[in-house]
Chains A and B, each alone.
Chain A
Amino acid sequence: MSIEVRNLSKQFGTFAALRDVSLEVHSGELLALLGPSGSGKTTLLRVIAGLDVADAGQVLFQGEDATDQHVRERQVGFVFQHYALFRNMTIFENVAFGLRVRPKNVRPPDAEIRDRVHDLLKLVQLDWLAERYPHQLSGGQRQRIALARALAVEPKVLLLDEPFGALDAKVRKELRSWLRRLHDDMHITSVFVTHDQEEALEVADRVVVMNGGRIEQVGTPDEVYENPASPFVYEFLGNVNLFHSRLHRGRAWIDGIEVDAPEHAEAEELAATAYVRPHDIEVDRVAKDEAALAARVTHVLSVGPIVRLELIREDSKDKNPIQVEISKERFRELQLVRGDQVFIKPRRFDLFPNQIH
């Protein structure tokens, strides 16, 4: 089932959690809402679920207006960050809850509930825990039970609020790929909230980057990583180097290096910032042309296939260190050690005019 939200706004006191947010979630996709805390991602998820009500805007399920529908009627599966398992019930009863509370005429008979619950427990590979209580389970196990409980009512959409946020790194990684596989098997429209860019890029079909109650960019993991639409997305997704720049009539000067900037043809003497990923910087022993910056190696981290260098520019006022990533082969060719002088040149970059405050 597809989900659409239109022009959602939500205010908590003086804090604007959502500002005019519109978004479409395609049927069967796994979508990540990614952003720092306070960006409105959890609020958006809760509004979609019906746990929070927006001040303005609409929520549509499969094209039908669900804005005024109660959570109970929306048929969404919701998974909480802290699991929210019913502490007074066994794992079995937790999963069975959604079926047991159905009105008599649509409630499946006990035998069927039992079968369904056991099938779900098998699906999450925790069948052997049926008679335990939530407090006897580990965090990862609880989160899988929470997922089984949400799936028991056969929801049309699955909403997960920072599902792996409370887990340690290893369990997190395991559950992440497990969720991906589960989604590939079930194809249920799913939205999950996360502040972990790696998690979003690795698991989701599409990523929605949020900031300050607005959507900054929507796209596949590749799109948002390779072509960030704003400085915020650049900085939030992965490491990036900033260079002071100037724009003038289709030309740009990145820390003094002159380059073409055809998309800024109208710019007149505009201060800007160039965003360059660490692997998009060329490093050389000698300056091949004038368009290179002299820098000195201050740190070398050569563990793994990628070598990370930290450089300080020599003839620039900007003394912020520059992060560079080069391949092991290139590193062997250059034979760099700390203190060496090198010349660097941005290979790919994006220019964003500085915001005037």
Chain B
Amino acid sequence: MNATNLPATSRMRRPRATQEPAWVRWTLIGLALAFLTLFLFVPLILVFYEALKKGADVYFAAIIEPDALSAIRLTLTVAAIAVPLNLIFGIAAAWAIAKFEFRGKSLLITLIDLPFSVSPVVSGLIYVLIFGLQGWLGPWLAEHDIQVIFAVSGIVLATVFVTVPFIARELIPLMQAQGTEEEEAAVALGANGWQTFSRVTLPNIKWGLLYGTILCNARAMGEFGAVSVVSGHIRGSTNTLPLHVEILYNEYNFAAAFAVASLLALLALVTLALKTVVESRITQHKENANEHRGA
């Protein structure tokens, strides 16, 4: 059969029945692009522009300055504690919720969502009310010479609280969709609990887990509100990167503020890149899984 024998209309570009006219499409695309440019791209470029406006020397000086280095160190420390804690909690909670039936399950799901629905400032205040000098545990803590508020431990607590949902939320729907049959099959074949988890459950959720961890990490490093309330802004001691940016900005030290802020912006970009990679792997994984289910 020769292509020229085909009726002419079939080769002409005809709008499909479900397609909007061109001007509608381009207006919508244009609007979305304008919005993104105004609210995302311009600010992002501006951060780097302001940071480097006074030259690379000023930029690097602002970053290797002792207080800035201390803030970087603290931010990394906090993330290094908060992320693994939530990793363990997230897996445990998702495992329990997705694979077992128990009383109070919906309450647990609601509790996991709580940090999302509460303003971070309020979460910080809760810790002040509990651990602060005038708080419930304040006198007892003071007696035993333990400082939580205005100290690193308070910052870690606040960060852990704020980042609780990220990993669990990512894993619960994934694990629920996968069901319990593979685990049952493993146990019936003689696997113990750890073998079942490490050989069957964990490999099945690894991409979702990585995705949740990336988001959790980004939030742990970028958290401002809750940390701001409990930290006390002590330079070189309880200042995290976001707090350091605020202090520099309030001191009209714009170049330094933007230099440090650019580190956070970089973190965001790296996170975004990682997220994209992982997301594509998840889609692939899901497609396999769907194929796997339907037969």
Contact = CB atoms under 8 A, between A and B. Distances in A.
Question: Chain B binding site: helix, strand, loop or mixed by DSSP?
Answer: helix
A135 interface: yes
Interface in A94-142: 97-98, 101-102, 133-135, 138-139, 142
A98 B189 contact: yes
A54 interface: no
Given A153-B189, A153-B190, A86 B288 contact: no
Contacts of A175: none
Contacts, number: 77
B184 A135 contact: no
B190 A72 contact: yes
Nearest to A83: B295
Contacts of B293: 82
Interface in B3-28: none
A135 B289 contact: yes
A142 B293 CA distance: 11
A87 interface: yes
A78 interface: yes
B281 interface: no
Contacts of B204: 87-88
A101 B191 contact: yes
Interface in B192-209: 192, 195, 199-200, 203-204
A78 B184 contact: yes
A98 B289 contact: no
B264 interface: no
A312 interface: no
Nearest to B185: A84
A166 interface: yes
A101 B295 contact: no
Interface residues of B, number: 22
Question: Which has the most chain B C-beta neighbours within 10 Å: A50, A76, A80, A101?
Answer: A101
A24 to B, nearest CB: 23
Contacts of B143: none
Contact of B288 (A50, A76, A135): A135
A49 interface: yes
Given A135-B292, A142-B295, A86 B188 contact: no
A77 B289 CA distance: 24
Interface in A150-189: 150, 152-153, 166-167
A94 to B, nearest CB: 9
A149 interface: yes
B181 A82 contact: yes
B92 interface: no
A71 B288 contact: no
Question: Which has the most chain A C-beta neighbours within 10 Å: B181, B184, B185, B293?
Answer: B185
B190 to A, nearest CB: 5
A51 interface: yes
A76 B199 contact: no
Contact of B295 (A51, A97, A167): A167
Interface string B272-295: 000000000000000011011101
Contacts of B182: 84-87
B108 interface: no
16 contacts: A51-B184, A72-B192, A80-B184, A80-B185, A82-B293, A84-B182, A84-B184, A85-B182, A85-B185, A86-B200, A88-B203, A101-B190, A135-B288, A139-B295, A152-B189, A166-B295
Given A98-B189, A101-B190, 19 more contacts: A72-B187, A72-B188, A72-B190, A83-B295, A84-B185, A85-B182, A86-B199, A87-B204, A87-B288, A88-B204, A97-B191, A97-B199, A101-B189, A101-B195, A133-B288, A135-B292, A139-B295, A166-B295, A167-B295
Closest 5 CB pairs of A and B: A139-B295, A98-B189, A84-B181, A88-B203, A101-B191
